[in-house]
């Protein structure tokens, strides 16, 4: 995604309207977004979560586990 010079000037105009503490928040948020994007794009998936629900295989069938997971996600247990 390319940002034009006009876009950058518009961002600068808006920043100038903010008090210093809010400008810092904007900069911190921009850094957070950049770091999040960099972390997403690096490295292969690790699958370190694999096997963590293995103990539930004794209690649930695959279909029952899928239904239970839906209930857990929706907050209805």
pLDDT digits (tens, 9 = 90+) for 9-67: 999 999 999 999 999 999 999 999 988 888 776 667 778 888 887 887 788 888 988 88
Position 18 in a domain: yes
pLDDT given for residue 15 in this prediction: 94
Position 46 in a domain: no
- 33 and 9, same domain (yes or no): yes
- 37 and 59, same domain (yes or no): no
C-alpha separations of 43 from 20, 31, 38, 63 in Å: 37, 20, 10, 33
- Distance spanning both ends of the chain, measured CA to CA: 43
Question: Is residue 1 over pLDDT 60?
Answer: no
- 37 and 65, same domain (yes or no): no
- Map residue 3 onto helix, strand or coil: coil
pLDDT given for residue 77 in this prediction: 61
Domain that residue 26 falls in: 5-41
- 36 and 57, same domain (yes or no): no
pTM value is 0.46
């Amino acid at each position: 995604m390319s940002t034009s010079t006009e876009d950058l000037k518009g961002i600068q105009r808006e920043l100038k309207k903010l008090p210093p503490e809010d400008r810092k928040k904007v900069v911190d948020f921009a850094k957070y977004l950049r770091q999040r994007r960099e972390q997403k794009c690096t490295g292969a998936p690790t699958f370190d979560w694999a096997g963590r629900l293995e103990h539930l295989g004794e209690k649930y069938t695959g279909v029952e586990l899928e239904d239970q997971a839906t209930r857990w996600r929706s907050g209805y247990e």
